[in-house]
Structure formats: C-alpha cells, structure tokens
Amino acid sequence: MSVHAPADLHAPAAAGPAAVDAVTARATRTVAVTVPDWPLLAALDRHQRRLEAAAGEEDAPAPVPLDLAAVPVILLDQHRVTHAGAAALEAGVRPGMTRRAARAACPEALVLEADREQETALFELVAAAVDTIAAGVDVLRPGVLLMSARGPSRHQGGEGRLAERILDAVADLTGWDCAVGIADGPFAALLASGPGRIVHEGRSADYLAPHPIQALRSAPVGPGWGHRGQPSAARPERRLDLAETVDLLQRLGITTLGDLAALPSAAVADRFGPDVATLHLLARGQEPAPPAAHHPTQPLLAETTLETPLVRTDQAAFIARPLAEQLHAMLVERGLVCTRLRIVARTEGGEEMERTWRHDGALTVADVVDRIRWQCDGWITRARLGGPATGAITRIGLHPLQLAPAGENAPALWGSAGEAAQRASRALARAQGLAGEEAVQVPALVGGRLLADEVALVPWRSEKPERREGPWPGALPRPVPATVFRDPPAVRLEDAAGRPVVVTARGLLSGAPARLLVLASGAPALQRAGLRAGSGCQVLAHAAPVVLDERWWARDGRRAARLQLVVRGASAEEVAVLALSRAGEWTLEGLYD
C-alpha cells in the first residue's frame, strides 16, 4: 500500500478575509488524523473476517479482499445509506437513500449494517499506531483523532515531518490509509486533513474562506445540535439540525464560509441565535473558548481492581456501570461535570494502557459506560487482530481531565437546558446590535494583586484576555469582598483624638483606628450600607495591616497596605469593609456581605 506525504504541505492561503485577529493567532495548533469512510472500512473489515472464519471451518481458500473501486458496497444505518464505495457511487447510490432505493440503483451491491461498537473498538488500532509517534491522542469520534501539534512537531523536527511519520505509522501498523491536517483550531485542521494540508499559523481564516458552506456539516460544534442526538436549547420542541441550517444559509445566498465570516457577529447572533453564532466563529478561523477548567484540591480518580481478569469483551459490560456510577457520584458531590475523560488499564504483566475521550457537553453515566466498554473492547480486539499483545486487564481507572462547574451544563428545572440563558443571549446580542459592541460588558478573571486588578470588563462574546498566572504575594485570601469598587471612594481613618491613622514604614498602624470618615459620595452600595458622604462611622474592630510591596526593587515600585475593618453604619448595622492605603491616603477596596 503506497503512502504519500500530505500534498502541498505549506500551500499559500487561498483568497479570503485578510485580517486575522488575535483570537485566531492564539488558537490551538491542532493535528487532525482522519480515516476517510471509516464506518464503511470497519464494516468491510468485519465482513471480511466473517468470510475468513467461515472459510477456515470448511477448509476452503481464504477469500480475496474486496476492492471498493471494483465491488459496489453500501453501508446502512437505520435503513438509510450513510456511506457508499466508489463503485456504488458510480452506479448512482447516494448517502441518504433508503435501502429500497439503493437496491434499485445498484442491485448487485454488497449491503452491510453499521455497528458503532465495532467501529470504535477497531479504531483503537489506528489510535495505537498514532500513539507510537506522539502521546496525548484524543478520540473525537471513530475515524477522527485530535492532538496538540506543538510538542510532537518539535520532537519530530517540524510539522511536515510529523505528518509523514503519522501517515507511515498508520499504514505500516494497520494497513489503512489516513489523512493528516494541521491548522489553528480543530475545525480548520479537520478540513485540512481531507487534502492533507498544513495551514500556516495565523492563516486559518484565509484557508477556510473559499470552502463551500456545506463544510459546516463536519463542524465540531457543542451540545444542542440535533445531529449529535441532543435537543436544541433554543427550540425545545424540535431538533436543530446542521443540514437544515446549511440549507437555510444557502437559500439566503451564503455559499462559502467566507460569506458567512463577512457577516457582523452581532447581527448573526441576533438573527440566528447562539448556535449559529458559534458556526460563524468557526468560519472566521476562530474557536469557541473551552469551558473554564476546574482543578479540585484533590485529584479525582475512580478505580477498580478486577477479581477476575478481563479477557473478553462481554466482561467489560459488567464492570463498566459500577465504575461509571462511582465517578458520577464523586462529581455530583463536588458539583462538577466531566467533558474530557482518560481511561487507564493495567494488565497482569504490569503494562499500562490509556486513551483519552472528548465529548460535547457533560459526560453522563451512560456515556462513560459506553466509552469504558468500547475502549476495553478496542484493547482486546487490538491484540486479537495482530496488534501488540495486552494480556488480561486487572485494573481499570477513570481520570477526569477537564472539569467544569455543573451549573454550566445542567438542564433547567422546567423545560430544556438553558432556555433562560438562550433568551438572555438574544437580548444581549440585540443590545449590542443597537448600541455597539462595548455596550454589553461582562467580567473576566485576569489575575492580580489588588481586587480591582483581578477582574477586567470585556465586551460580551469577545475573546477574554489571557489570565495572568501568579503567584501574587500579598493577594487577598478567600473569601473576598462581595462588592468591589471600580473607582474606590476616598475615606479618612482617625484615632480617638482625631489624628489621621497611617501605616508606618515598619508596617504598623500609627494609632488605633476609632473613626472612619467617608469624604465624598460613593457608589450606591455605600449608601445602602449606611456609609454616607461626610458621615463618620465608629470602628468596632480591625485586623493587622498587610503591607504590599510592588516592584520594590525598581524606581517605579509602589508601596501599599490593606486593612480590614468592622464599622457601625448610619443605620446602626455592622459593616465589614476593606481599606487600602497608598501614600498615606485611604480608599475603600470593597464591602463584605
């Protein structure tokens, strides 16, 4: 079987949007490995092995492998054609046909039935072959692998060399041809894998622009799309289908991804809703921001040791559900959901095998059960089909790799998931369309030492700024004040004799605080707390000051100090405040609830 390097590895970008914004430049450099018509190849492999087994029982000659270019082959799923070989396509068979129509178009065609579990198990051979070149392979779905390009390309001596090594490994170890594409973001990488291209960094938008709008059918969109078997959040009474959306865009005169990308973002979100707005983001060469990662204080692990080693695929069904329910209970207890899962197995010989699975939205117990069963079946099948011998599996563990707060994926109490969020999204998009992008802003955590520096306001649906990782010596420990002032109001802190209280060079207070005076009218939150302009509040208690030395080694370094106080407001209620001193002047950073 001949293997060729990807054609036109560094092809110049096609005509399209010239400007690529900062979001595209920071998109994840992704490798997509695809096996064209994988469900058809897997079904054909299953059919061929059945023929070989029957021939072996009858001592007959081994059957000749079928050639898709010469023998018409059709794959059916729920009585409709999903894939057809070259000979069947030439005879007039098309995906979407019913069984009867396909039979009428090509009576001599070999008809096979789709088997999702067998497709998944057999695809482990391809994943294992790619694993020999680079670790960290994620299975998006049977037939498609994704991986980060940064580390492996440096190790292999460049992205072109990495693509060649993957092609050779899959062909040598499995006998199948695969395609490799490398680009910024998974969508551009998936489209680039068809012709086997490597798109220059920062040029994904230009590469995507001339593609027909039908390319959106393979978009890696999230939950809420009917073709993923999930109901639409925007229209709970029906399913939102990619084919229907593509047809609508075509009827509106949008024929290429470049046409879609040229539309204003606010107008797309207002007219079509957030699901199509995500497609618009992909067409512009960008990628949706991943869910905010959540890192629990203790790593989560669900693991079981098997009393009877696992050597048959039917055994996996019995151990999968208890293990999945154990992981689900741990996540529910912590209020988390898992969107990326690693399955690890240990054999009798001490060998460890692992595979990572991605998923659109939260993984349910049924999703985890399916992936455990598929993966165990894949490892066992790999050895049975001539791959590396695995031995009996004695231990299986589940490692959640990507966690998010459960509220971001939980369904609403009444109706489908996120109906209120969908209505709010439309309202915010409408406001942006009327008043401009800056009219609707949302907070984004960026990191910093002071409370006002930790959060930045950015336009809704825009790229969030990168988080500045700490450590931040002197940062306020949690819990932080519930109210943080963007413009801290000025205050005066006095002792019992009316003298100003300051923080000395040694980090001590010059006197015991007795009175807090609000110098000017501040935010409404101050008024509600009873801290009115010109009024003095009795200090009931205070903590020790915390000195902040910012860039103490430089001339532009700043020195500040924090002080937590409990004061009595005008309504005789006790109010906890956080004061900040700079150059002898006090301001209020925030109010505690």
The one-letter code for the residue type at 341 is L
Q: What is the C-alpha to C-alpha distance for residues 412 and 419, in angstroms, rounded to an integer?
A: 7
Residue 388: per-residue pLDDT: 60
Residue 200: per-residue pLDDT: 92
Angle (deg, nearest 10), helices 265-272 and 274-283 = 150
Lowest mean pLDDT across 361-370, 394-403, 487-496, 581-590: 361-370
Q: What is the pLDDT of residues 195-247, one digit of tens each?
A: 999 999 889 999 999 999 999 888 876 543 433 334 333 343 344 567 788 88
Q: How does residue 467 score in pLDDT terms, banded at 50, 70 and 90?
A: confident
CB neighbourhood size of 413 (10 A): 5
In order, the DSSP letters of 53-88 are: HHHHHTTPPPPPPP-TTTS-EEEEETTEEEEE-HHH
Lowest mean pLDDT across 428-437, 447-456, 583-592: 428-437
Res. 374: pLDDT tops 60: yes
Q: What is the pLDDT of residues 246-276, one digit of tens each?
A: 888 988 899 999 999 999 888 888 888 777 8
Q: What is the C-alpha to C-alpha distance for residues 261 and 206, in angstroms, rounded to an integer?
A: 10
Q: What is the C-alpha to C-alpha distance for residues 522 and 525, in angstroms, rounded to an integer?
A: 8
The one-letter code for the residue type at 234 is A
Residue 235: per-residue pLDDT: 40
Q: What percent of the chain has pLDDT over 90?
A: 17
Cβ atoms of 85 and 71 closer than 8 Å? yes
The DSSP symbol for 312 reads S
Cβ atoms of 591 and 577 closer than 8 Å? yes
Res. 534: pLDDT tops 80: no
Q: Averaged over 458-486, what is the pLDDT?
A: 76
Rounded mean pLDDT of the chain? 79
What are the start-end ranges of the H helices in 78-185? Answer: 86-90, 99-105, 116-131, 150-156, 159-174
Res. 478: pLDDT tops 90: no
232's CB contacts (< 8 A; 6+ apart) are 224, 225, 226, 238, 239, 240, 275, 416
Q: Averaged over 343-357, what is the pLDDT?
A: 83
Q: What is the C-alpha to C-alpha distance for residues 517 and 584, in angstroms, rounded to an integer?
A: 15
Q: Averaged over 77-100, what is the pLDDT?
A: 89
pTM over the 0.75 mark: no
Domains belonging to the chain, first-starting first, are 1-35+143-210 (no CATH), 39-116 (3.40.1170.60), 212-290 (1.10.150), 302-408 (3.30.1490.100), 440-471 (no CATH), 483-591 (no CATH)
Q: What is the C-alpha to C-alpha distance for residues 41 and 178, in angstroms, rounded to an integer?
A: 12
